[in-house]
Structure 1
């Protein structure tokens, strides 16, 4: 093993001009502490703005900085994937550019990995305390609970993008060529030895992830890692059939022997209940079918316009 493994720092930018310079300065301070070979990869996810030109200026002054310009906005996970695929050095450190995850954890994670090089393959940042809105905290908490209940793959809650990975781990992770990617889940099922370190994440007060985006991402994550919702629907359907059979038998018995009929309200209630259940079941099956549809087309997860 090289006594000072090299490090690739990967981040994505999307209207991030306010963060690029302080991010770069703080990353360089950490790398100088380590004294190792490095590269810093910025991935421009979509429309170019002032941040694009700022990174190009950094490239002029630092030959270890590069910029990957995607053809359009493919999303944060796709942009990070583009950077990870392009990383060439011994270890890869991923982190968001917005400084909510402190770049100062680079040296801490690197030193922890180096001290346990033969036993550990990746060091993952775990959110120490959520300081976001109460809705975001609750939705995050219940998402991980629901995912771990429904999926055969259990993931550590509150994982961050801040993580350092050996090249061998990254090569294995990149074997998962899925279009609908839940990256935290893919990191988990890759196996290897993963350890977790707490990170205090700052909160800038706003998020580009609306509640609708959170729900959509959560549904995609669960359906891409579990078929338990389909099995659950089967058993709900089976139970509903048994219940409706006995209810029907009771109604027939009442009509024949007691001359009692429950009336239109009970029938309407049953129709609405089973109609709603059928719509939910059809919608869930549709989600799985659409996921298969997206995967079999095998479209590229991102397209690169230019590398600077």
Structure 2
């Protein structure tokens, strides 16, 4: 029996690139059709443009195309999770719809998978079309995250990778709502192999990742994989308390010995405001973690599906996804 490979494509407002993406994917996989069966699984993440209609048209012309139409925009992380749940392949390849990740690398990924690697990830040699500031902040963030966590976080890598079925089954067990999938790829382990490539500029359309969303993703990454910020705030608070106690003793001794009145209103206000700022920062850090605990305790389903392959989907018990069952 021939192995089946699912190619997962999360899509949000990507009408300008879908036909070109499909053509390049088909040209790539047709070189391997003698050995493998392929499934092109599109996940429409609540697009506002003509994305879902184009996907439906592609499906009507090609039985290899499948699609999931989510009930609204849940974000790329959740869209990928839906793809994991509905994947039918012995391996799964994640690729962005914007063609910054070249589909022509897929045969090389498959070859390494056949050699026994479970996670073949593409590492960026260069990043065309991105500003110096974006590259610098990305590099700084991954350096920081690596220092804060014990998990070996992959740098200069995105979601473009091939995952063996057992990696997918492992990821399907991780049902948290606050997701940082790039860290999860590292967290699950298994036998990994990198390949280098030069990332192209976006083929068409506009990026969905502004600096605010990138900052939000960075917070997700830090709070999902380390509690070091909580330890920093506790340690910093202890140091400031110790310094404040020593200063208090000094003021008391100075007053008792020299009989001087307590002076220094400006410096006193500066210290009070500084300590107050540190307290607010610490409360903010605690609030980030507490908010994530609050969201997880709700135990809401990760997503709802409007259609799967032109069939309306009725919301049902989310526990069925945990069983790793495939969906027809």
When the two structures are superposed, what TM-score results if normalisation uses the length of structure 1?
A: 0.94
Partner residue in 2 for 1:267: 268
Partner residue in 2 for 1:246: 246
Report the RMSD for the aligned CA atoms in angstroms: 1.5
Question: 1:18 is paired with a residue of what secondary structure?
Answer: coil
Structure 2's unaligned 5+ residue stretches are 310-328
**TM-aligned CA deviation for residue 255 of structure 1:** 2.2
Partner residue in 2 for 1:291: 292
Q: How does 1:84-95 map to 2 (within 5 A)?
A: 84-95=84-95
Whole-angstrom CA distance in 2 between matches of 1:302 and 1:86: 13
Partner residue in 2 for 1:9: 7
> After superposition, what is the alpha-carbon deviation per residue over 1:24-56, rounded to whole angstroms, capped at 9, x for unaligned?
111111111112211101111103532222111
Partner residue in 2 for 1:126: 123
Whole-angstrom CA distance in 1 between matches of 2:91 and 2:18: 22
Is 45-54 or 9-18 further displaced after alignment? 45-54
> After superposition, what is the alpha-carbon deviation per residue over 1:153-172, rounded to whole angstroms, capped at 9, x for unaligned?
12111112111111111111
Partner residue in 2 for 1:306: 307
Whole-angstrom CA distance in 1 between matches of 2:201 and 2:250: 59
> After superposition, what is the alpha-carbon deviation per residue over 1:271-298, rounded to whole angstroms, capped at 9, x for unaligned?
0110000000111111111000011111
Is 181-190 or 201-210 further displaced after alignment? 201-210
Residues 125, 159 of structure 1: 8 Å contact kept: yes
Q: Is 2:212 aligned against 1:212? A: yes
**TM-aligned CA deviation for residue 207 of structure 1:** 2.7
Query: 116, 132, 143: which is aligned to 2:141?
Result: 143
CA 1:262 to 1:195, structure 2 compared with 1: closer, same or farther past 3 Å? farther
Partner residue in 1 for 2:156: 158
Question: 2:136 is paired with a residue of what secondary structure?
Answer: helix
Residues 251, 262 of structure 1: 8 Å contact kept: no
Whole-angstrom CA distance in 1 between matches of 2:95 and 2:41: 11
Whole-angstrom CA distance in 2 between matches of 1:83 and 1:176: 14
Whole-angstrom CA distance in 1 between matches of 2:150 and 2:172: 21
> After superposition, what is the alpha-carbon deviation per residue over 1:140-190, rounded to whole angstroms, capped at 9, x for unaligned?
011111111111212111112111111111111211111100001111110
Question: 2:112 is paired with a residue of what secondary structure?
Answer: helix
**TM-aligned CA deviation for residue 135 of structure 1:** 1.6
Equivalent pairs, count: 303
Partner residue in 2 for 1:197: 195
Residues 254, 260 of structure 1: 8 Å contact kept: no
Residues 129, 200 of structure 1: 8 Å contact kept: yes
Partner residue in 1 for 2:228: 228
**TM-aligned CA deviation for residue 77 of structure 1:** 1.2
Structure 1's unaligned 5+ residue stretches are none
Question: 2:153 is paired with a residue of what secondary structure?
Answer: coil
When the two structures are superposed, what TM-score results if normalisation uses the length of structure 2?
A: 0.89
**TM-aligned CA deviation for residue 18 of structure 1:** 1.1
Segments of 4+ moved more than 6 angstroms: none
Q: How does 1:29-178 map to 2 (within 5 A)?
A: 29-35=27-33, 36-114=36-114, 116-117=115-116, 120-131=117-128, 132-178=130-176
Whole-angstrom CA distance in 2 between matches of 1:278 and 1:248: 19
Whole-angstrom CA distance in 1 between matches of 2:8 and 2:87: 8
